[in-house]
A and B are shown apart, each in its own frame.
Chain A
Amino acid sequence: MTPGAVVWSVLAGALVLWGTFSGLRPDLPGPIALVRWFTRSWLGRALALCAWAGAGWHLFCQRP
């Protein structure tokens, strides 16, 4: 395993742990609340859609 893959594994583990913990606690903002926060205004929605569109183009039209 490369050093970069180790860091990615740690980040993925932290995201899964924190996402699960915060998602199960009704008093904390979980992963759904994170997405929801971006949809509260046109600016947030536009920023999120720009990131979404860029990611889609990169993943499906530039990467194998």
Chain B
Amino acid sequence: MSRTLAVVAGAAALALSWWEGGLSRDQASAHWSVLSVIALVVVGAGVFGAGRQVMFSGAWARAPLSLRHHLAEDPGPSLAAAVWTLLVLAVIGWDLNSFVHQSHNLPTLSSLVGHVTASHVGRAAVFCGWIGLGGVLALGWRRR
């Protein structure tokens, strides 16, 4: 991506985020803007990613299963990956537990984020981060 295009895309994302920050969850414009960003990112992933993935999906899905091989070859990174897995599963598990109990004493992750997105600046900042993450997931680290 050229530098000019990147600057224009960044400025558009910032402007969209600021506009989105002023909306609420019940507004149709909030729904359409979120759906439009999702559609744009998914189409972008397909258009720019065709034939440029690093691995085939089958090999990617099977790779973590060779745990013994990974531990023997690269024990440090393998254990670090295990720690990441545990932390991510802990977050998902605790969020599910909080959701199932529906108790004021057990807030879900989204209810905590809801305190941030309740304000214009907070919603705009979280939306901007969300767009950025989507862009990275759609376009990042392609094989040249």
- Which of A's residues lie within 8 Å of B, judged by CB? 2-5, 7-8, 11, 14-15, 18, 22, 27-29, 34-36, 38-45, 48-49, 52-53, 55-64
Number of residues from B at the complex interface, CB < 8 A: 56
Asked whether A4 lies within 8 Å of B25 as measured between CB atoms, the reply is no
- Within residues 116 to 144 of chain B, which ones have a CB less than 8 A from any CB in chain A? 117-118, 123, 126-127, 130, 133-134, 136-138, 140-141
Output the least CB separation between A52 and chain B (Å).
5
Contacts of B140 in A (CB 8 A): 35-36, 39
A55 to chain B, nearest CB (A): 7
6 CB contacts below 8 A, A to B, read A2-B106, A11-B90, A22-B83, A41-B57, A53-B38, A53-B42
Does B94 lie within 8 Å of A11, measured CB to CB? yes
Q: In the complex, are the beta carbons of A55 and B130 less than 8 A apart?
A: yes
Main secondary structure of the interface of A (DSSP, over half): helix
Kindly state the separation between the CA atoms of A58 and B109 in the bound complex, as whole angstroms. Answer: 11
Q: Which of B31, B87, B107, B127 contacts A5 (CB 8 A)?
A: B107
What are the residues of chain B within 8 A of A57 when measuring CB–CB? 34-35, 38
Besides A44-B57, A52-B134, 17 more A-B contacts (Cβ < 8 Å) are A2-B104, A4-B105, A15-B91, A18-B84, A27-B76, A28-B76, A28-B80, A35-B133, A39-B136, A41-B57, A41-B59, A42-B57, A45-B53, A53-B38, A53-B134, A60-B34, A64-B24
Please tell me if the beta carbons of A49 and B134 are within 8 angstroms of each other in the complex.
yes
Q: Check if B13 is an interface residue, CB within 8 A of chain A.
A: no
- The distance from the CB of A2 to the nearest CB of chain B, in whole angstroms, is 4
**Distance in Å from the Cβ of B82 to the closest Cβ of chain A?**
10
Contact (Cβ within 8 A) A49 B138: yes
On whether the beta carbons of A60 and B110 are closer than 8 Å, the reply is no
